[in-house]
Each structure stands twice: as structure tokens, then as C-alpha cells.
Structure 1
Amino acid sequence: MSIPGSWFLTLAAVLFSVGVVGVLVRRNVIVMFMCVEMMLNAVNLTFVTFARMLGDIGGQVLVFFVLVVAAAEVVVGLGIIVSIFRRRVGATADDLHLLRG
């Protein structure tokens, strides 16, 4: 028995919505960063679902590229987050002005 693709798309929509709400509502930089990663994983789930429904491998290839971009985002994002937290331990997203020289 196979799970219908609409269930996967619904799950991806819920994950993406939770990620968007987390980015818009939370002020903690690390939580916002995790919410962006959750949104990228929701997009990956959508690509894989459409690839399975259409019988095409193109969606899975796009997932590979999204994972590469996500890895680069993690490197740059964590570098920025670490530099913020070195200057101020309880930093929030509003404290980005601390990065100015």
C-alpha cells in the first residue's frame, strides 16, 4: 500500500508554514536559522514528491542542489551567528548592528 502524494505535499506545506511562522515570530537567531533549514527541508520534500508523482528524476536532482546551497548557508550563517554571540551572549536578531566595524 502506497501513501498518496497529497499527504506528502500537505506535510511539506505544514513544515514550511511552521518555518515561516518561526522566522517571523522568534527573535532568537539560532531558532530563526533552524526555521530556515526547516523551510528548505519542506521544499526538498515537495521536490521529491513531485519527482515520484511524475516519474521523473529531475526533482531529486534539484534536491541535491538545494542541499548544496543549504550546506553553504550553514557555513556562512553559523559564522555570522558565532561572531554575534562572541560580542554579546544574549544576542537577538535585532542586534545585527553589532557586526559593523
Structure 2
Amino acid sequence: MIHSYLYLSIILFCLGIVGVISRRNVFTVFMSIELMLNAANLTFVAFARVHESMDGHVLAMMVMAVAAAEAALALAVVILLHKHKSKLDTNVFSLLKG
């Protein structure tokens, strides 16, 4: 039973890594990071179900809270990037240093 959840989690995490590495659009990179975080949440919840503990659920909720804060910060960076450069390419981030 847990094997199917773990396989799904591994597939989702690998898809997230591929999205982060291969894409240049900032939105796609952030969505891939969110996909990787959700894969980790699925693993935490699956192991919590097997061990009949709530620790995995609590950890998954904490990861969701961090992901929400990361999404808010990412949206602010994307708006700043689009406002200054009118592009959403990841190569433009080096231009925001000043």
C-alpha cells in the first residue's frame, strides 16, 4: 500500500526537479518547487499512516505553511522582475542586484 504512494511521490519529485532544471520561466520554476514540496508532503503523510502517528501530518502542515510564505515572496519577486525588466526569464535575476 505505501509503495504506491512512495512511487507517486518519487515521480512527482523528479518531475519537479526536471521543471526547475530545464525551464527558464520564473512561474514554471516556482510551480516545480511547489510540486517538489507536495511530493515531500505525500511522503510524510504516507509514513505517518503506516506508523499510525500524527507526526507526519504535523510536518506536512508546517511544510505547507513554509510553502505559502515562499509563494508570497515569489510573487513579490515576480512582480518586481516584471515591473523593472518586462521579462520573466531567470537570466534577468542578476540584473536586480543594484
- Structure 2 unmatched ranges of 5 or more: none
Q: How many matched pairs?
A: 98
**Deviation above 3 Å: which 4+ runs of structure 1?**
none
Residue 16 (1) aligns with residue 13 (2): yes
> Which of residues 68, 84, 94 in structure 1 aligns to 2:65?
68
| Superimposed CA distance per residue, residues 4-40 of structure 1 (whole angstroms, 9 cap, x where no aligned partner) | 1110110000000000010011011110000000000
- TM-score normalised by structure 1 residue count: 0.92
- TM-score normalised by structure 2 residue count: 0.95
What is the percent sequence identity of the aligned residues? 41
- Structure 1 unmatched ranges of 5 or more: none
Equivalent residues in 2 for 1:79-90, closer than 5 Å: 79-90=76-87
Residues 8, 46 of structure 1: 8 Å contact kept = yes
Looking at secondary structure, tell me which structure has more helix per residue.
2
